[in-house]
Amino acid sequence: MSGRSVFVYSDELLKYKFSSHHPFNQVRLKLTLDLLKKTNAITDADIIPPRPATEEELFLIHDPNYVNAVRLAGLGKLSEETAEGYGLGTEDTPIFPNMHEASSLLVGGTLTAVDQVMTGKADHALHLGGGLHHGFRGKASGFCIYNDSSVAIKYLIEKYNVRVLYVDTDAHHGDGVQWSFYDDPNVCTLSIHETGRYLFPGTGNVNERGQGKGYGYSFNIPVDAFTEDESWLYAYQNALKEVADFFKPDVIFTQNGADSHYYDPLTHLSATMRIYREIPRLAHEIAHQYCNGKWIAVGGGGYDIWRVVPRAWSLIWMEMTENSNCYGSLPDDWVSYWQEKSSVALPIEWDDPATLYPAIPRKDEITEKNRLTLEKALYPILQKKSNERIDT
């Protein structure tokens, strides 16, 4: 399955920074890249810099008035009342200097990844600075100013005329991307997330299936709070295989939020590094099975930037490059360098110990509930398959 992979990065991506105490902290990009370098898993030749998205590219999804408001906000020229109407200056999405330029670079990084794959320069491309899936056409939301994934998918459709399978494994529902393409049969969205009963943004129910020509191309699997590895992976593996076989995409686009982990401070799931091995492995397999290897991956959530995100995101690159050097101990020089800066004890192994957390008392109940949710989510596909077997 091997083919060239590229890693989109520059230190300029760190300028997307709300404040020193905001949970969205792009220092996790440096932590991840440094882990890959100290594992000898990446070279400078693998890394390409992002470019800023143009206004015209942003307008593929975002309202021009909103883009102008973001620019003015970053210059300190937007009134508080106007900013509030655009979701700017809130606790989640504070205003910071030059936020338009910083946000445009995140979008452009994802477009850089798209062009690398779609022009045949690479089979796979990873842009961990992207994955801001909550941004709307005219409003910021959930730490996301511009929605790079939505812009990139629209760009894929208009420039390359392809059918896109968008797979979102962030603990938060991929609402911005889903609504962007809710009526578009050229985009199939699959989001596996913690149920919105307990978590922002409160959407992503199984009955959100699309509308108009896009009906039947939106899939949501809201898993219960405290879901563990086995149940989460059962949902992911079955859903992705069934949806990919149903949709038969030209390209797979994955959003890789790393916030379903037990340690994440903003969510309530109980996953470990086991799922972060399987997420890219199966995505890689699907890319080669249906898309001639075309796989674009972005980052997303992930708020334990020390213990979780660097390992989880490194495993995406390891899978893309078919590098098996991701078991056992983490590099000593990585652990010692970053431990001085970390507020928590860093892990010393790639995988989590079996004793990471005490037994969840409702495990069987949660597992069965998730199984039934999966069945409901996939019912249209499974029903169609059943009818086809009867007809033959």
Q: Give the catalytic positions in this structure.
A: 134
Residue whose entry in the numeric block shows the structure tokens 């290897």: 293
d(CA 136, CA 134): 6
Task: Specify whether the CB–CB gap between 53 and 114 falls below 8 A.
Answer: no
Give the start-end residues of each E strand in 217-274. 218-223, 251-255
Question: Of how many residues is the chain composed?
Answer: 392
Residue 109: exposed, middle, or buried by beta-carbon count in 10 A (0-12, 13-18, 19+)?
buried
Q: b or e along 6-22 (b: 16 or more beta carbons within 10 Å of the residue's beta carbon)?
A: bbbbbebbebbbbeeee
Contacts of 21 (CB under 8 A, 6+ apart): none
Q: Is 20 helix (H, G, I), strand (E, B) or coil?
A: coil
Annotate 331-353 with DSSP letters as a single string. Answer: PHHHHHHHHTT-SSPPPSBSSPP
d(CA 349, CA 347): 6
Residue whose entry in the numeric block shows the structure tokens 């708020």: 303
Q: Residue 381 belongs to what H/E stretch?
A: helix 363-391
Residue whose entry in the numeric block shows the structure tokens 């859903």: 239
Rounded to the nearest angstrom, the gap between the alpha carbon of residue 152 and the centroid of all alpha carbons in its chain is 13
Structure tokens given for 171: 């603990």
Whether residue 97 is preceded by a cis peptide bond, meaning omega within 30 degrees of 0, is no
